[in-house]
Amino acid sequence: MSGAVVERIRLFFIESPIKMARLQGVGNVKGTVKRVLVELTASDGVVGWGEAAPWEVFTGTAEAALAAIDVYLRPVLIGRPVKRVRETMALLDRALVGHAEAKVAIEMALLDIVGKASGLSVADLLGGRVRDTIPLSFSIADPDFAADLERMRAMVPAGNVIYKVKTGVKPHKEDLAHLEAMRSEFGDAIDLRLDYNQALQPFGAIKILRDVDAFAPTFIEQPVPRDNLDAMAAFVAALDTPILADESCFDARDLNEVIRLKAANAISVKLMKAGGLLKAQAIMAIADQAGLPGYGGTLWEGGIGLAAGTQLIAATPGISLGCEFYMPHHVLTEDVLEERVANRNGHVVVPDGPGLGIRVSEASVRANARILAER
């Protein structure tokens, strides 16, 4: 592997059906979600996989990610030494502004190759594991709350105790009724979290947040639009419940501003925002210094992207608030892995094998791909 270079790139545009609609403050999803899968082949024959899973109201589109890799990043990648991951990522940043999802998909695939060739997991490459399992959070976002409550009745006895409620989409009184129903039925046996996805406006938000504060959530995520950091800081000062920044914290520059204004008590770390596992670790290094724990967030990743997320969290002590890596098990009707990343007793089990620790089904990829870009 010492001299191996990137020899071939194949891109697959996937549109995956989902089992249920999802209502979220910044936008809703129903029917299908779109993703781009990246397969890199090194000159010694080792293959690595990555995934770009944008969301058009959050980071960008899958169509744009496909074009970014195929047109702009492919010429940079072909012939690059596979082991020089950090240097390659810097070259990609120089070649194309933005498109974090496209870039992280490439980095996943490079790390997958390096790990497979060396017999090490991606977590090992990132510094070694500090945890083997990650507490799993399931999002309460079905338009039919009764259906979500029924899911909880099956999931709580099985050990799934963390639930993040998507609030601010329905009327406030309805949100309060749902929170009351959950607390009445499950009490303190569940770890309750709230996520407004920017749904509130700063004016009047504090009254709404004081109402939900009474249900003792572990955190309230991104109550107002991302640029309203002064309002976020006011919530931090006024409420007992910690405030978690998601859309307000894409990169290190955002995080430094959040810290300066004391606008959050914790942050959501998403690979599709950060643009790389290495960048995500760098963001958490800053958060660690400020005493802000991290939460493993997602957009609409399937098994490849979430395997990368588990490897990141396994090797990053500060991402200690669990993860929401539930899509392949609970929302996607099918995925492209031969075997899904295991969930056990309310935790995601970090794969043990080399690289990302997964096996991709070529047949499933081809069966689900709408577009194949190969040259």
pLDDT digit string, tens, across residues 270-297 = 999 999 999 999 999 999 999 999 999 9
pLDDT for the residue 370? 76
Domain membership of residue 49 (yes or no) is yes
Q: What type of residue is 267? A: I
Instruction: Identify whether residues 271 and 130 lie together within a single domain.
Output: yes
* Helix or strand (DSSP H, E) at 149: helix 145-155
pLDDT for the residue 42? 98
Q: What type of residue is 88? A: T
Average pLDDT over residues 65-94: 97
Q: In terms of pLDDT, which residue wins out, 19 or 218?
A: 218
Contacts for 138 with CB less than 8 Å, ≥ 6 apart = 151, 155, 160, 162, 163, 164, 324, 326, 330
Instruction: Identify whether residues 38 and 88 lie together within a single domain.
Output: yes
Domain membership of residue 354 (yes or no) is no
Average pLDDT over residues 199-217: 97
Q: Which residues are known catalytic residues?
A: 166, 324
**Residue 57: band (very low, low, confident or very high) from pLDDT cuts 50, 70, 90:** confident
Chain centroid offset of residue 208 CA: 27
pLDDT for the residue 375? 63
Domain membership of residue 356 (yes or no) is no
**Residue 25: band (very low, low, confident or very high) from pLDDT cuts 50, 70, 90:** low
Per-residue pLDDT reduced to its tens digit, 340-363: 999 999 999 999 999 999 999 988
Contacts for 300 with CB less than 8 Å, ≥ 6 apart = 29, 33, 34, 35, 53, 55, 327
CA gap 223, 247 in Å, rounded = 10
Domain membership of residue 93 (yes or no) is yes
Q: In terms of pLDDT, which residue wins out, 333 or 237?
A: 237
Average pLDDT over residues 138-143: 93
Instruction: Identify whether residues 65 and 89 lie together within a single domain.
Output: yes
For the beta carbon of residue 192, count every other beta carbon within 10 angstroms. 21
3-class DSSP state of 27: coil
Instruction: Identify whether residues 66 and 183 lie together within a single domain.
Output: no
Q: What is the CATH number of the domain that holds 291?
A: 3.20.20.120
What share of the chain in percent tops pLDDT 70? 98
Structural domains counted in the chain = 2
Domain that holds residue 72: 5-119+361-374
Cα angle: 141, vertex 350, 129; to 5 degrees: 125
Average pLDDT over residues 90-111: 97
Instruction: Identify whether residues 47 and 169 lie together within a single domain.
Output: no
**Residue 194: band (very low, low, confident or very high) from pLDDT cuts 50, 70, 90:** very high
**Residue 1: band (very low, low, confident or very high) from pLDDT cuts 50, 70, 90:** low
pLDDT for the residue 60? 87
Of 347, 314, 354, nearest in space to 329 by CA: 347
Domain membership of residue 355 (yes or no) is no
Instruction: Identify whether residues 189 and 286 lie together within a single domain.
Output: yes
